[in-house]
Structure 1
Amino acid sequence: INQGARRILFSSSLRLPEIDAYYLHKLHKVGIECVFLMHRPFYDLLVPSGRKYRAIKKIMQLCPEILVMTNYAANIAINFYQQPEEKFTLFPHPHYKTFLDNYETDTTYLADLKSWCAGFPVVLYMSGLHYSHGLTDLAAAIPIVHSRMPECRFLFLGNDHMDGNSSVALQIRERFKNDNRIRCNFGFYQNSEAKACLSLSSILAVPYRDIVQSGVVPMAAGEGVPSVVTRVGGLPEMVLEGISGEVAEPQNPQDFADKLCSVLMDYNKYKRDTLKVASELFSPDRCCEIIVNTLGK
């Protein structure tokens, strides 16, 4: 606790907001303010009359300032929880390069991937395997991409042991089991393996149907990997179209395939520009500065 400013940074998944609200109220009573770093407002799970809704609204009322990773998230909080606009500060999701640099690349895993991709472009999917993540839309886009770029590889990473994930993983694996150009590495993966995948990938595919923001976009950007995302939630804010990636319409395999191909055909430019965007938009130093300035008020 900063004894001078009497402000601390508070972050929560908001899965138990009643407990969060209780302790924030305790801190408030002794004169300690909390700046709320909000990941997701959980608006889609709540109704205005619900207990969790009231608890989250109470949290926002107790916090004099709220850091959000996208304007989309801020607008939800402003409109759904009736919070004043001036309370919110944009806090871009930092990239992970500094963190990942602490890990050695799994060279055995990387060698295996290099043998598989044989120098051809690799489209990487590295996220959850729930239906809301748009895996079936990406699967439908693959034949379209292959009609233009027959040797393009697709690599799927994700934990198939989480709730709702196993059926999607099984569906994707079954659909492409006889196509060597598609590889499904489902299950828990290490940071050293994530580094290996990012190091040989040409592009990150983010075909979500519903999301507030995504941590994998800045993660990929930190390694110079551009992204194709869907126009849902705050995703369009995380990609500079024509620079660090492209934005496709959701649940539209044709448009998603078109955007993938446009990036792949000018990959060197996108990679160069993506590294620049990562160093500016997703800079951890910039994020730290925002936190320090907010706590110092």
Structure 2
Amino acid sequence: MADMNIQVTQHTVPKKKAGPWAQTWRRFSRDKAALVGAVLLGIVILLAVLAPFLPLDDPNAVNLAKRLQPPGTDGHLLGTDELGRDMLSRLIWGGRISVSIGFFAVGIAVVFGTILGLIAGYFQKFFDTVIMRFMDILMAFPYVLLAISIIAALGPGLINTMIAVSVVGIPYYARIVRGSTLTFREMEFVMAERAIGASHFHIIFWHILPNCLPPLIVAVSLDVGWMILAASGMSFLGLGAQPPLAEWGVMLSEGRKFIRMAPHVSLLPGLALFCVVLAMNLIGDGLRDALDPKTKV
């Protein structure tokens, strides 16, 4: 019986193309600077979350016998402040407050700014004129003076500082979302939704808003660091968190009197602020590049 050679044609199965978010993550993960920023921010957030469970001294426990001890002192890895309070404990507990204020303030600004930007960009005419002129008035004030004015009206305190800083950020997000909404509201897929009788709510939140997310995500990542810095600045001026609360701005304010005698009291919270803001900027730059559709995967 003659041998029969059977040739099998191999068909290569086309590789499934990754989704847009998978491509974004792939581009982001190749950015070493962005990954460093993400790891740094992750460490800060992890320490802040685990603060109640870590073997730390009471951040407000006063021990005048050990005041202004340098870093490396027995029992005080990062030294003590002018009242003998443990600097490591105060830094970690202070990070809990400072980072939380930054994220919550950005969250408030994003929600209100996004809603106002969507309304102004989609409905235009009267809504656009009223909303954007009000945003222009807010942006006409220097952000520090506006924040100070709001805190002066509401009174000093953490909650009022968060409100003041978030109000200052609302026009920023309103302008970003309005610009994107003006672009997408005239596109074919939105026109098709209108033609089949879709409601304004459905079009705005199911079709326009998702397309506004990429620039919004980049803006948020870059703005969190600024919000943390602004809130700490208000505390430094005595308008935000109040002593003896462990907060980086308060620690900077208290430590400036001992900058020559014990520089670590001011340098450590300043370094913590620097690291968090740097991490957020690195993440923001990485996200901006990763969300750019022109970037090759």
Write 1 or 2 for the structure with the bigger share of helix. Answer: 2
Q: Please confirm whether the aligned pair reaches a TM-score higher than 0.5, indicating the same fold.
A: no
Q: Which structure's relative contact order is higher, taking Cα pairs within 8 Å and 6+ residues apart?
A: 2
Q: Which of 1 and 2 has greater Rg?
A: 2
TM-score by length of structure 1 reads 0.21
Write 1 or 2 for the structure with the bigger share of strand. Answer: 1
